[in-house]
A = this chain, B = another copy of it.
Amino acid sequence: MSIDPIFVLAMMGTAVFALSGAMAAARQELDIFGFIIVGLAPAIGGGTVRDLLLGAEYVFWVNDLSYIYVASAIAIIAFFQVHRLDGKRYALLTWADALGLALFTIMGTQIAVDQDLHPVICVMMGMITGTFGGMLRDIICNEVPFLLQKEIYALAAIAGSCAYLLLIYLGLDDQGAMVIAMATTFIVRGLAIVFSWSLPPYRPKGSS
């Protein structure tokens, strides 16, 4: 019996994103159902928006319950254990989130490519898959989305998505392109974490 490595990575990404939702639920001091709902939002939200925009008959998690099971399990465990996440483990979570971003972005790009959509749309669908779940999480929790404020985050998704398209165009096989593209997103995001890279925000003229 062999295990599909893509599936393993997808479940890891789901788990990590669900944990980010559970941590937002902890900040709001929600009950266990609040943890599950706010945990599911980032874990399946980005892919759900992508599926709606691309007119999928059923959104992806209706046909594969693994995403729901993994995200709910993580949210329930987090409800009882999230206070144990001290500083060091929190840093680990940031890195795991970068891995989830890399994976979901490239998977979303790939789905759009399979439908022969325009490269610009493929990159947008990659970015939406990777980042809109977190945006939904923040909207539900009544916060200004992290995506909009964060150091380099959307850019890392876009970089990986463009790398995937370029490598496929250059004739690389799909698996090789996925690995390199995921690495691109992960490394760009990782460098941004390590060096606190950020893009310059808009500053009103008067302020200095």
Interface residues in chain A, defined as those with a beta carbon under 8 Å from any beta carbon in chain B: 25-26, 28-35, 37-38, 48, 52-59, 62, 65, 68, 79, 82-83, 117-118, 120-121, 124, 135, 139-145, 147-149, 154-155, 198-205
Distance in Å from the Cβ of A37 to the closest Cβ of chain B? 7
Among B26, B32, B120, B201, contact of A65 (Cβ-Cβ < 8 Å): B120
A109 to B79, CA, bound (A): 27
* Residues on B with beta carbons closer than 8 Å to the beta carbon of A54: 58, 62
A142 to B145, CA, bound (A): 8
* Residues on B with beta carbons closer than 8 Å to the beta carbon of A55: 55-59
Q: Would A201 and B29 be within 8 Å (CB), given that A53-B58, A124-B68 are in contact?
A: yes
A154 to B204, CA, bound (A): 31
* Residues on B with beta carbons closer than 8 Å to the beta carbon of A32: 199
Q: Would A148 and B79 be within 8 Å (CB), given that A53-B58, A121-B65, A202-B30 are in contact?
A: no
Q: Would A201 and B31 be within 8 Å (CB), given that A52-B52, A54-B62, A121-B65 are in contact?
A: yes
A54 to B155, CA, bound (A): 32
Q: Would A35 and B202 be within 8 Å (CB), given that A55-B57, A135-B140 are in contact?
A: yes
A147 to B31, CA, bound (A): 10
A2 to B88, CA, bound (A): 63
